[in-house]
C-alpha cells in the first residue's frame, strides 16, 4: 500500500511539470551584470480552473471560511493580502539568488535597485492546490518574466513565459499561501538555471 501511495504521489508530481519558454530576446546582456532590479506585478492575475478574478476568489473563500467558523475567513483574508509581500516575492528572490550563488555567479536579484535592467515578474494565473494529509495536489503558478531597460521599460530585452510552476514541499503544507510561495520559488529556481545555461555558456 505504501508503494502504491508513493507511486501515485510521484505520478501526481510529474503531471504538473513547469513549462518555461523564451518568447523573445536572448541572455547576452546578463553575463556582465552584477545586480538586477526586480518588480513584482500582482495587479491582474486570474485564479482557479474557472479563471476567477482575485477579488472574486477572495470574496468566496472568505465567505466559505466564515461560514464554517465565524471570523476565520476574515483572518485568512488578512494573511492572503499580505502574502505577496511576505511570502511570494521573498521566496522568488531567495531561490533565484541561492541557485546563482551556489554556482559562484555574482548576479543578484533585489527589489528597489537603481540598475540598468529590471526584471518584471508578472503573475498571470494561480491555483492554490490542496493538502488533505495522505493526498495532495501542488499549487501552480504561471508568470510572465520580462527583462527590460529600467530607463525605458517598453524596451524588452528578454521575455520568458513560465506556466504552472508546481508549488509543494516535503511533508504536509496546509497553507494555500505557502504552497503558492513554493511555486514562486520553483519559478525563480528554473529561471536562474536557465540563466546559468544560456548567459554563461
Note whether residue 159 is domain-resident: yes
Note whether residue 195 is domain-resident: yes
Note whether residue 66 is domain-resident: no
**Reported confidence tier of residue 150, pLDDT bands at 50, 70, 90:** very high
> What is the spatial distance between Cα 34 and Cα 108, in angstroms, rounded to a whole number?
6
Q: Per residue in 76-113, pLDDT tens?
A: 999 999 999 999 999 999 999 999 999 999 999 999 99
Note whether residue 132 is domain-resident: yes
Question: Among 161, 84, 152, which residue's Cα sits nearest to residue 118?
Answer: 152
Cell of 80: 492572503
Q: What residues form DSSP beta bridges with 108? A: 35
Position 196 pLDDT exceeds 90: yes
Helix, strand or coil, per DSSP, at residue 142: strand
DSSP string for 18-55: -EEEEEEE-SGGGTT-SEEEEEEE-SS-EETTTTEEHH
**Reported confidence tier of residue 27, pLDDT bands at 50, 70, 90:** very high
| Element at 175 (helix H, strand E) | none
Note whether residue 67 is domain-resident: no
**Reported confidence tier of residue 132, pLDDT bands at 50, 70, 90:** confident
* 184 Cβ contact list (under 8 Å, min separation 6): 88, 89, 91, 92, 95, 141, 143, 165, 167
> Domains in the chain: how many in total?
1
DSSP string for 129-157: -EE-SS-EE-EEEEEEEEEEETTEEEEEE
Give residue 63's pLDDT. Answer: 98
Note whether residue 63 is domain-resident: no
Position 173 pLDDT exceeds 80: no
Position 74 pLDDT exceeds 60: yes
Domain with 112, as residue range(s), is 2-51+92-199
- Looking at every residue in the chain, the average pLDDT score rounds to 90
Note whether residue 64 is domain-resident: no
72 burial (CB, 10 Å; 0-12 / 13-18 / 19+) is: middle
Note whether residue 175 is domain-resident: yes
Amino acid at each position: 500500500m505504501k508503494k502504491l501511495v508513493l507511486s501515485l504521489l510521484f505520478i501526481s508530481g510529474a503531471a504538473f511539470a513547469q513549462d518555461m519558454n523564451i518568447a523573445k530576446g536572448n541572455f547576452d546582456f546578463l553575463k556582465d551584470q552584477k545586480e538586477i532590479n526586480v518588480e513584482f506585478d500582482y495587479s491582474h492575475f486570474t485564479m482557479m480552473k474557472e479563471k476567477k478574478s482575485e477579488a472574486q476568489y477572495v470574496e468566496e473563500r472568505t465567505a466559505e471560511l466564515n461560514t464554517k467558523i465565524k471570523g476565520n475567513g476574515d483572518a485568512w483574508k488578512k494573511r492572503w493580502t499580505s502574502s505577496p509581500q511576505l511570502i511570494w516575492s521573498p521566496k522568488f528572490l531567495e531561490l533565484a539568488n541561492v541557485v546563482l550563488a551556489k554556482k559562484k555567479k555574482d548576479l543578484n536579484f533585489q527589489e528597489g535597485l537603481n540598475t540598468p535592467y529590471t526584471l518584471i515578474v508578472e503573475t498571470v494565473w494561480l491555483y492554490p492546490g490542496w493538502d488533505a494529509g495522505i493526498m495532495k495536489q501542488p499549487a501552480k503558478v504561471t508568470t510572465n518574466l520580462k527583462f527590460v531597460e529600467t530607463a525605458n521599460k517598453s524596451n524588452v530585452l528578454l521575455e520568458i513565459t513560465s506556466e504552472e510552476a508546481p508549488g509543494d514541499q516535503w511533508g504536509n503544507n496546509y497553507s494555500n499561501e505557502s504552497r503558492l510561495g513554493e511555486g514562486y520559488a520553483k519559478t525563480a529556481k528554473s529561471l536562474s538555471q536557465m540563466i546559468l545555461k544560456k548567459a554563461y555558456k
